Amino acid sequence: MFSKYPRKKIVLYSLIILFFIMMETPMIMLGNKVEPFVFGLPFLLFWVLLWWFICTALFLIGYLTNWGSKSTDTESK
């Protein structure tokens, strides 16, 4: 079904979907605790920041790899 998409596009979008599942479904409750403190941060805060960092990094990778598409986009920035 997904054969038409390049592999890197599938991986990228799957990881982004994973982020939203971890953050915005009841899965967020997995991180909903105070202890243990990590780097001086309460666990929930650390947990949310960790996922935020992963997803922001994915968006940077998205930009650098043209979001997984072969592009004929020749216009300059």
Partner 1 sequence: MTVGVLIIAAFMIIPLAVGLLAATKSTNTSEDFFIQGRGMGAIAVFFTVAATWWSSFAFLGSNATFYTDGPVYLTALAWNLLFGLMYYLVGKRVWYLGKRFNYVTPSDLLGDFYNNEKLRVLVAGILLVFTIPYLQIQLTGGAYLIEVASGGVIPFWLAALIFYFIIVVYVWVGGIRAVAWTDIIYGALLFFGMLFAGIYVSQNLGGPTGLFKNLLETSPEHLTLPGPQGAMGFPAWFSLCVVTAIGAFMGPQLWLRMYAVKSGKLFNLMPFLLGFAAIAYMGSLLTGFSGVLLEPGVENPDQILPIMLMKYAPFALASLILAAGAAAAMSTANSQIHAVSTIVTLDIYKRYGNPKASQESIIKVGRWSLVIFSLIAYVMALVVPGVLVTIGIAALAGTAQLIVPTIGAITWRRAHPTAALWGLIAGITTVLLITFVPAFSQPFGFHAGVWGLLVNAILFVTISLSLKRTDHKVVKRFDDARYEYNKEYHPELIDELKKKEEKTV
Q: Residue 63 CA to chain centroid, in angstroms?
A: 13
In the structure encoding, which two tokens stand for residue 38, read together? 């990590």
Q: What is the DSSP string of 52-68?
A: HHHHHHHHHHHHHTGGG
Cα of first residue to Cα of last residue in the chain, in angstroms, is: 34
7 interacts with partner 1 by CB under 8 A: no
2 interacts with partner 1 by CB under 8 A: no
Cβ closer to partner 1: 14 or 33? 33
- Site residues, partner 1 (CB under 8 A): 3-6, 9, 16, 19-20, 23-26, 28-29, 32-34, 37, 40-42, 44-45, 48-49, 51-52, 55-56, 59-60, 62-63, 66-67, 69-73, 75-77
